[in-house]
Amino acid sequence: MPSEEDLNSHHWLTFGAAPLSLLAQRSLIFRQLGASNLGGPCIVAGGRHLDAVGTNGATNLDVALEYESGTAVSALTTTPGGDGTTYWYPYVETGVGECDVSYDVPLNTTALTAGMNGCSLRIYVNPARGLIKFCHDNNGLYADDAAYAAKGFQHLQSINADARMRGLPAQNVNDYWEAAIRGPASGIYFICMKTAAMQWTIYQSVAIGGRREERIPGVFRASTRVVHPFTGRQSYNKVVVVVDIPPLTGARRSSAAGTDDLPV
């Protein structure tokens, strides 16, 4: 029997071949292994359905994510590295997590980030250098169009939880955080894929989180574990927007590179 990790890796490979067919059957959830503020090429691997993500000793509280084994959610993890066909741009607590991707990466290259429930996905482009900058803007507050413009990057597209727009109004998709999908630890996982030579398609994968507490007996005192169980919401999985990339204007392209930011 294949392991849970192997099955989830298989589902990720299926997404690469047939994105909408896969998303009609299950949601994909991504998590970065280790705390890092670097964006760049990454390796995607299948994760476990029950995956401890942190312990708060001060409150004697264990926290876990549960992806309901055998149901419509696949847990996936990312680590730095790989062949440059998958990229990660991180969540940054008080800032913008970024990664730069070259215009000329192969078709089906993907850019991934952590789940959003209030943040904005922003895309900036530098046609002179042939670079696309993917941004995870915490709560839609920190991305600065003028600062990016000073580095040659122009705003191209934003997807916002509410209406914290950047650039022109037509460059924004607002209100992804619908009332029907809100819940504890819920998230929308945006998957950006290069689907044509000068075009990227942005898909959304939705998982609804719940919350329960489990008491764990101890020698001297009991502890409490909080578990966030996730279930997929395939009816909300869809193409959000198709983004056309402006033509290259420079004489040569620059290779993609990650951006150093504040620690996660």
4-45 pLDDT tens trace: 899 999 999 999 999 999 999 999 999 888 778 889 999 999
| pLDDT reported for residue 166 | 97
| pLDDT reported for residue 62 | 55
Say which residue, 56 or 88, is predicted with more confidence.
88
pTM of the model: 0.85
What is the arithmetic mean of pLDDT over 256-262? 38
pLDDT range class, residue 260, cuts 50, 70, 90: very low
| pLDDT reported for residue 263 | 29
Chain-centre distance for alpha carbon 226 = 23
134, with CB counted inside 10 A (0-12, 13-18, 19+), is buried
| pLDDT reported for residue 97 | 97
pLDDT range class, residue 65, cuts 50, 70, 90: low
Nearest alpha carbon to residue 241 among 206, 201, 204, 205 = 201
200-221 pLDDT tens trace: 999 999 988 777 788 888 778 8
126-175 pLDDT tens trace: 999 999 999 999 999 999 999 999 999 999 999 999 999 999 999 999 99
What is the arithmetic mean of pLDDT over 56-83? 68
**Which helix (H) or strand (E) covers residue 134, if one does?**
strand 131-137
Nearest alpha carbon to residue 237 among 33, 59, 22 = 22
Average pLDDT of the chain to the nearest whole number: 86
The per-residue DSSP string of 142-170 comes to: S--HHHHHHTT-EEEEEE-SSS---S-GG
Query: How far is 243 from 173, CA to CA, in rounded Å?
Result: 11
Counting every residue written for the chain, the total comes to 264
- pLDDT higher than threshold 80 for residue 66: no
93-103 pLDDT tens trace: 899 999 999 99
| pLDDT reported for residue 261 | 32
Domain residue ranges of the chain, discontinuous segments joined by +: 4-244
- pLDDT higher than threshold 90 for residue 50: no
- pLDDT higher than threshold 60 for residue 51: no
Q: Rg of the chain's alpha carbons, rounded to an integer?
A: 19
Residue 36 has φ and ψ, to the nearest 5°, of -150, 145
